[in-house]
Amino acid sequence: MSNQDPHDEKNPTDAEVTAMKEQAMRTLLAPEARLRLNNVRLVKPDLAAMVEKLSSRYGIPGKTA
């Protein structure tokens, strides 16, 4: 067995991961695009997660259309 510290700096907490995702979306998406993504998240959370993943993967800031 290995002794893993749950607060190890190599393993970010869920809150830290969420904060990093939000920061990435603020950087990559225009405010209008973030609003639309949040509206989509209310109806189709899986689609919103996919859009976030693709946006962060391609990392093209300012593309909203």
Residue 56: pLDDT band with limits 50, 70, 90: confident
- Mean pLDDT value of segment 14-26: 85
Amino acid at 20: M
pLDDT for res 63: 56
CB 37 within 8 A of CB 48: yes
- Mean pLDDT value of segment 26-31: 87
- The winner for highest mean pLDDT among 13-17, 18-22, 42-46 is 42-46
CB 18 within 8 A of CB 10: no
Amino acid at 18: T
Arithmetic mean of pLDDT over the chain: 80
